[in-house]
Amino acid sequence: MKRIAVFASGSGTNTEAIIHHFKSDLTGDVALIVSTKIENYVITRAKNHDIAFHILDKQGFKEGVDLLKVLNLHDINFIVLAGFMWLIPTYLTRKFQGSIVNIHPALLPKYGGKGMYGKHVHQAVLDANEAESGITIHHVNDKYDDGQIIFQATCNVDISDTVESLADKIHLLEHAHYAKIISELQTGVS
């Protein structure tokens, strides 16, 4: 069974969808939420669902000692990034090789890399007059948005789309697919 830690920096609508999914899918359990600030709304979601949470500080995250202790304490064997904006350090990608995944709000390898998150991605897609965008679920290595692609789904980009309307379409795709894909993956952590 997967003991899942969700890392999220923002509002956490994906986190909410994943928590909801694993209430009835017994292949996994969301055991921990990890975030960058106590004020992030995803922490309110953790409290609402009575899920343990951990707040990172940036330097400590780079070194990893505290985080590894917390992950151990909760028996975490699978990490899900859901709108988490810090680069994942090598100690985590090594320990969780094959068991750490991310969702990106575009069709990688286009519109990925440092600085390409949330609304910046949708703005770039609109600026390039793309006819379609979508989501990419991929394994995580120690570069931004670079790991092996597991799954993609697409949506149309219409002439009338704005950053907000495109973000809404992408969120619908994310909420429909991310938890199901997580459910199908195996944990490789011993």
Which residues are catalytic, by number? 104
What is the end-to-end Cα distance of the chain in Å, rounded? 12
C-beta of residue 123 within 8 angstroms of C-beta of residue 82? no
Q: Which is nearer to ligand GAR, 49 or 171 (CB)?
A: 171
Residue 14 touching ligand GAR (CB under 6 A): yes
**Per the structure block, which two tokens stand in for 8?**
């999220």
Cβ-Cβ contacts under 8 Å for 124 (sequence gap 6 or more):
106, 111, 116
Q: Candidates 56-64, 101-109, 158-166, 180-188 — which segment interacts with ligand GAR by CB under 6 A?
A: 101-109
Q: Which residues pair with 80 in a beta bridge?
A: 6, 101
Residue 34: count other Cβ atoms within 10 Å of its Cβ: 25
| Residue 29 engages ligand GAR in binding (rule: CB under 6 A) | no
Q: Tokens 């290595």 map to which residue?
A: 141
Assess whether the previous peptide bond of 89 is cis (omega < 30° from 0): no
Residue with nearest beta carbon to ligand GAR: 83
- Subset of residues 154 to 183 that bind ligand GAR, contact rule: CB under 6 A: 170-171, 174
Residue 68 or 124: which CB sits closer to ligand GAR?
A: 124
Does 152 bind ligand GAR (CB under 6 A)? Our answer is: no
Q: Does 13 bind ligand GAR (CB under 6 A)?
A: yes
Q: What gap in Å lies between CA 71 and CA 151, rounded to an integer?
A: 26
Measured from the CB atom, is 68 or 141 closer to ligand GAR?
Answer: 141
- Among 10, 28, 134, 147, the residue binding ligand GAR under the rule CB under 6 A is 10
Question: What does the binding site for ligand GAR look like in residue numbers (CB under 6 A)?
Answer: 8, 10-15, 82-83, 103-105, 117-118, 121, 170-171, 174
